Amino acid sequence: MANFRCERAFVMLDEPVPGLNHLKAVDPEAFACLLSDEISCWMVDAGYTPLVDFLYAPFDRPKWRPAGKGLQSVRGAMELYQKWLDAGANPLGWSREQMEKELVVLGQVAEVLDLADARDRRFYFAAKDLG
């Protein structure tokens, strides 16, 4: 995503999941804040696909992926955050409060992708600016 500022991010599904409004299930501003390159190298080192690999700007052609693939990455990010919280420090210098807030958002994303995975849905993350 060159030359684009992601200020909101949404989980997009190829087909709806009954009883789930996937566009409102995740805080879009908080989700956009945690989609950064900072954690990507740590995710790769841990064997997970970085979350930003699923993120597409409005002018990009998105690649639909199995929800289970995204769920693995989100859970991997959650494991890293929890490991760092348990250790009382992290290599990125993030505050405990920031990491706890981002874990809540990651939990929201995991819930959406878990429900989507149970119905064999595909997904991507859509980046939006405020314009």
Cβ atoms within 10 Å of 86's Cβ, excluding its own: 8
Joined tokens for residue 85? 């919280």
Q: Residue 100, SS3?
A: helix
Rg over CA atoms, the chain: 14
Domain extent listing, the chain: 8-128
- Reported as a single tens digit per residue, the pLDDT across 48-101 is 999 999 999 999 999 999 999 999 999 999 999 999 999 999 888 989 999 999
Crossing angle between the packed helical segments 67-87 and 37-45, to the nearest 10 degrees = 90
Q: Out of 1-5, 34-38, 95-99, which region has the weakest mean confidence (pLDDT)? A: 1-5
